[in-house]
């Protein structure tokens, strides 16, 4: 060019400029590398799709004790009272039978320090009254026996009197019949003597003698009839006396039996009251032993639910929370109701504890780090309040032991291990919302049809 200007244009316009956008432009070689990487990643993904995957059911829960006796419990005082002294503090270890605290009495009926002596005196007095009633029953038994003997004797005597009266009636009846026969004979003789007197065979003196004789026989008949009537009345009176003797003695016997029944009833009432006094005496003895609240088993004092001295507590009220020593650890997991048919007792479980470093691959348990093995021990028969079913998982003895620092109540996450499938099948199942073990169920149905 003419080179009129001082600025030369012989050089490229961009040689003296530094442009960042131009420097970031890639060359075709970089694109080919990216394509190779994409191909490698796709190949790896395809390979991963055919890797085995273990199906599982996850659930959340917390650490607990397998046995109910090993779980935290509230120690309750059996009797009401006022706190007198504490012997433990929170976090302390206690053995079975150690004294936790003592209480004093607050009911006025137990204030008397000699209440056991007083109750024993009442029992002795009541026993003496019962013995007296027993003696009365024995005396009434003797009285009844004596009355029965007297009744037998009096009845025998009255029967003999009736028998004698009957014999006398028979004798008088016989005499009356004989006298009436004599009177009839005398009457016939008088009639013959009157005829003979008219015929001149007998004298008037003989006739009058016969007439006197018939009058005497008639008088004897009347006398014997009266005597027979008296004998019959005596027989009736003896029979009435026999009945009255039986009624009188039976009345006395009935009265004695009534008195005996009253005495037996009094004995029964006394035995009942004595039994109540014995029960009261035993209750007082046991109550005095309950003034000391003892530890039901060895463990740690977690928390004191009552504080201070002089505080009044009711009977059956919780005073401290005790965590038993050396509990059999377990994890309670909650799973959905739809997953319940897939689990069974003895199924393997992988457990992850809160606060314990872990890296869990649920489909590849062998590659997991920081998780621990377990097996299902209990499956609840009913749902819990949240609608899920609870599983109790115990440690697997054939795998690594659970960490000792884990305590009851710590959070936990678990996976119930099921069957092995391919990764692509598991992804397909998840996308379609099928339950685990779907492959196995289909294969089982085909086998049943065959």
- DSSP labels, 56-88: EEEEEEEEEESSGGGS-EEEE-SS-EEEEEE--
CA 394 – CA 344 distance, rounded (Å): 14
* Contact between residue 151 and residue 253 where contact means Cβ atoms under 8 Å apart: yes
The reported pLDDT for the residue numbered 423 is 66
Burial profile 336-362: b = 16 or more Cβ within 10 angstroms, e = fewer: eeebeebbeeebbbbbbbeebebebeb
CA 162 – CA 224 distance, rounded (Å): 20
Q: What's the DSSP call for residue 25?
A: P
Domain boundaries, the chain: 52-69+327-449, 72-105+291-324, 115-287
The reported pLDDT for the residue numbered 213 is 75
Ranges of residues in the chain with a pLDDT under 70 are 1-31, 50-54, 193, 197, 199-204, 206-207, 358-370, 419-423, 425-426, 429-430, 432-450
* Contact between residue 245 and residue 161 where contact means Cβ atoms under 8 Å apart: no
CA 169 – CA 237 distance, rounded (Å): 13
pTM over 0.75: no
- DSSP labels, 75-124: EE-SS-EEEEEE---TT-EE-TT-EEEEEE---GGG--TTHHHHHHHHHH
CA 252 – CA 264 distance, rounded (Å): 18
| Helix/strand/coil for 417 | strand
The reported pLDDT for the residue numbered 19 is 53
**The two structure tokens encoding residue 344:** 């069974």
DSSP bridge partners of 65: 329
**CATH match of 52-69+327-449 with 3.40.50.1950:** no
**CATH match of 115-287 with 3.90.420.10:** no
- Helical spans, DSSP H, in 108-203: 115-199
The reported pLDDT for the residue numbered 150 is 83
Tell the residue number behind the tokens 């004979």, with chain if given: 185
The reported pLDDT for the residue numbered 449 is 47
CA 127 – CA 274 distance, rounded (Å): 7
User: How would CATH label the architecture of 72-105+291-324?
Assistant: Beta Barrel (2.40)
The reported pLDDT for the residue numbered 440 is 47
């Amino acid at each position: 060019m003419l080179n009129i200007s001082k600025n030369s244009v012989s050089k490229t316009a961009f040689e003296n400029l530094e442009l960042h956008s131009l420097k970031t432009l890639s060359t075709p070689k970089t694109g080919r590398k990216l394509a190779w990487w994409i191909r490698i990643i796709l190949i790896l993904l395809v390979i991963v799709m055919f890797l085995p995957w273990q199906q599982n059911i996850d659930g959340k829960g917390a650490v607990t004790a397998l046995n109910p006796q090993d779980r935290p419990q509230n120690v309750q005082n059996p009797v009401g009272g006022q706190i007198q002294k504490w012997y433990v503090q929170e976090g302390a270890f206690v053995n079975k039978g150690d004294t936790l605290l003592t209480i004093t009495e607050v009911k006025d009926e137990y204030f008397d320090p000699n209440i056991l002596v007083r109750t024993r005196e009442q029992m002795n007095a009541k026993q003496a009254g019962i013995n007296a009633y027993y003696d009365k029953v024995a005396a009434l038994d003797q009285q009844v026996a004596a009355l029965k003997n007297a009744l037998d004797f009096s009845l025998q005597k009255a029967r003999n009197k009736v028998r004698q009266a009957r014999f006398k009636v028979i004798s008088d009846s016989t005499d009356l019949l004989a006298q009436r026969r004599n009177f009839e004979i005398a009457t016939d003789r008088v009639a013959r003597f009157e005829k003979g007197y008219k015929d001149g065979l007998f004298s008037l003196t003989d006739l009058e003698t016969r007439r006197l004789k018939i009058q005497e026989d008639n008088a004897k008949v009347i006398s014997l009839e009266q005597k027979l009537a008296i004998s019959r009345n005596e027989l009736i009176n003896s029979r009435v006396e026999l009945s009255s003797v039986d009624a009188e003695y039976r009345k006395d016997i009935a009265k004695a039996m009534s008195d005996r029944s009253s005495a037996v009833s009094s004995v029964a009432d006394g035995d009942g009251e004595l039994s109540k006094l014995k029960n009261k005496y035993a209750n007082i003895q046991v109550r005095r032993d309950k003034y000391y609240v003892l530890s039901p088993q060895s463990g740690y004092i977690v928390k004191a639910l009552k504080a201070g001295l002089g505080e009044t507590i009711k009977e059956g009220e919780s005073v401290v929370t005790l965590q038993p020593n050396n509990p059999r650890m377990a994890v309670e997991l909650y799973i959905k109701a739809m997953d319940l048919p897939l689990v069974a007792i003895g199924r393997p479980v992988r457990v992850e504890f809160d606060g314990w470093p872990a890296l869990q691959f649920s489909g590849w348990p062998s590659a997991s780090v920081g998780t621990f093995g377990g097996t299902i021990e209990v499956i609840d028969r009913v749902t819990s309040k949240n609608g899920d079913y609870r599983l109790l998982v115990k440690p697997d003895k054939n795998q690594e032991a659970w960490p000792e620092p884990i305590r009851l109540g710590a959070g936990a996450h678990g996976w119930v291990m099921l069957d092995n499938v391919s990764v692509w099948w598991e992804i397909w199942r998840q996308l379609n919302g099928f339950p685990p073990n779907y492959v196995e169920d289909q294969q089982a149905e085909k086998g049943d049809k065959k």
